[in-house]
Structure 1
Amino acid sequence: MVRRRVQFKKRSLVLPKDLQFLQISRCHDSRSLCDVPSLKHTSELKRITLIECKGIEHVLSFSSSCTLPLLQTLKKLMLVYLNNLQVLFRKERAISAWVPSDTFSCLKIIHLKGCSKIKKLLPPGLLLHLRNLEEI
């Protein structure tokens, strides 16, 4: 496993297409992973860890403007000390209407620590997609 440290401020971040592990720490400018456009090009992402990102209000948004292939391969989602996190997945319309059936089909673990403002863990329409979820 190759580890790379990527720093990004106001520049556009380009991630490798074969990226498997992503950890974002103390990045306060983004409200969700949808704000990282190059994630759309990753197709092998297995684990995402977000640590102390004050701007994060939701991890993903189910909308036509946020389509991320990582949703089909992701196995582990770790969210640590996200002080402004309110919901994991924000939806703009009915999830079942346009989310592919294999969305989150590999997700096994959702780990939350120090996310005190979270209001809603998962929207009901998403539960059908989490058939391999083992641990929250």
Structure 2
Amino acid sequence: MRVVGIQVSVERAGRAGFSIEFVGDGGEVVSVLCPQDDAGSLNRLNAIAKAKDMLRTALAADEALQAVGGQKGSLRGQLPNARRAHDRDAMEEQLEEGLEDTFPASDPVSIATSTIARGHSHR
């Protein structure tokens, strides 16, 4: 895969971190979620470097697994998501995050009221 583009998306206004997408020349996309650190120092500029470091670490771990006799790219089972684990707090947090990411959904709330005049009497 030859990377032809990199897209950086903000997660929850930067509070949750950034999603970095590496786009390949064949339409492949590799996504990396870089969570925000405790100091809040992750930004659009250094998020790409962090994503590259995370990918290097993942590749090195895969190569180490292969070296000890594991199958390259093998999975150790599927990780449970909030719905399967019946974690109501996690599902509620995901719902809140989704609502925040889509607000305002379309038109902003209007504070003005409109009135319709009813029958004027002519004197």
What TM-score results when the alignment is normalised by the length of structure 2?
0.21
> Computing the radius of gyration over CA atoms, which structure comes out larger, 1 or 2?
2
Greater share of helix: 2
Q: Which has the higher contact order (CA 8 A, sep 6+)?
A: 1
